[in-house]
């Protein structure tokens, strides 16, 4: 079965390159729309843009009731409400807003609104308040973006030194770039805010993508036979085993983890790995085959 699919792929790989190319262009368009709307290429949570996080520990709180109660109290600032789970049950709610400071008067109004909407009395022992300054959040974001840029620069240097060939090196770098762009575009399309954990996960994707694509490129360029079918099939089996294993682990962690940070990291990794399948085996493999075939013809 795998050999038949490989034969079909080898006949149509040039046409299949169009699929990831279209996805990449659409992703850049989505990110561009996000930048034009509010000046940022991602939706940031309070760890990156600053704000307040109000954690209320109380069982049996209805999420929609809390969201409706606090929305008016935080106007004109944005607010998001998420449940806090423990042992499969709701243990409370996490309320986040990009308000720069939550004074005591507004805090009391928020707590009163929640109590009125849920019928539960909220005391000082039932909640905690965390404040993140906008300057500190922006500093974190700037440093992480710099880390991503530096990672790409050193990645490019290592790849060029390793293969010393323009097309394969560019194909590897383009694949990693595409994985990051598509992942960010999906998050933007779904309007999912990410924080420091999500940015760290994007850095992880760079390393994962480079590892898999270097394996593919090495097997094709340094093969011992003229045929590309066997090294390509071998690389595909190894790469897909890696991806499916990581997808399974990240999917389980995404569903079962009670930590919001872990969920955020696993979500970014999960989306990135799905995009990596497309860009590694349709884009990068196609460009490599095109390069190898052209080189053999000459």
Q: Bin 90: left if φ > 0, else alpha if -120 < ψ < 50, else beta.
A: beta
Instruction: Write the pLDDT tens digit of every residue in 121-166.
Output: 777 777 777 777 667 667 777 887 888 888 888 888 888 888 888 8
Structure tokens that stand for 233 in this block: 């099939």
Instruction: Write the pLDDT tens digit of every residue in 252-266.
Output: 888 887 777 888 899
Domain extents in the chain: 2-44+135-297, 51-132
pLDDT computed for residue 78 by the predictor: 77
- Other beta carbons within 10 angstroms of residue 95's beta carbon come to 25
- Distinct helix (H) and strand (E) counts, the chain: 11, 4
Check the CA dihedral 249-250-254-257 and report its sign: positive
Main-chain phi, psi angles of 224, to 5 degrees: -95, -5
pLDDT computed for residue 150 by the predictor: 86
Check the CA dihedral 179-49-76-95 and report its sign: positive
2-44+135-297: in CATH 1.20.1640.10: yes
51-132: in CATH 3.40.190.10: no
Q: Which residues of the chain have pLDDT under 70?
A: 1-3, 60, 85-90, 133-134, 136-137, 295-298
């Amino acid at each position: 079965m795998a050999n038949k699919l490989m034969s079909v792929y080898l006949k149509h790989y040039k046409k299949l390159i169009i699929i990831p190319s279209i996805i990449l262009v659409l992703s850049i368009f989505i990110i561009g729309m996000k930048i034009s709307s509010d000046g940022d290429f991602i939706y940031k949570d309070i760890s990156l843009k600053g704000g307040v996080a109000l954690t209320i520990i109380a069982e049996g709180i209805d999420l929609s009731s809390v969201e409706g109660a606090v929305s008016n109290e935080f106007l004109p600032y944005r607010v998001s409400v998420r449940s806090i789970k423990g042992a499969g049950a709701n243990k409370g709610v996490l309320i986040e807003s990009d308000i720069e400071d939550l004074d005591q008067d507004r805090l009391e109004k928020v707590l009163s609104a929640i109590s009125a909407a849920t019928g539960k009395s909220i005391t000082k022992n039932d909640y905690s308040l965390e404040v993140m300054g906008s300057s500190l959040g922006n500093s974190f974001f700037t440093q992480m973006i710099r880390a991503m840029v530096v990672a790409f620069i050193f990645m490019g240097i290592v790849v060029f030194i390793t293969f010393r060939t323009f097309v394969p090196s560019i194909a590897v770098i383009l694949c990693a770039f595409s994985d990051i762009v598509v992942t960010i575009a999906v998050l933007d399309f779904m309007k999912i805010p990410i924080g420091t954990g999500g940015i760290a996960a994007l850095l992880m994707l760079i390393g994962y993508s480079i590892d898999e694509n270097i394996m593919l490129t090495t097997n094709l360029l340094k093969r011992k036979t003229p045929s590309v079918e066997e090294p390509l099939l071998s690389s595909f089996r190894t790469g897909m085993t890696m991806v499916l294993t990581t997808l399974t682990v990240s999917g389980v962690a995404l569903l079962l983890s009670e930590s919001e940070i872990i969920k955020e990291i696993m979500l970014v990794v999960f989306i990135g790995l799905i995009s990596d399948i497309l860009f590694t085996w349709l884009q990068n493999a196609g460009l490599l085959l095109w390069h190898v075939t052209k080189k053999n013809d000459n």
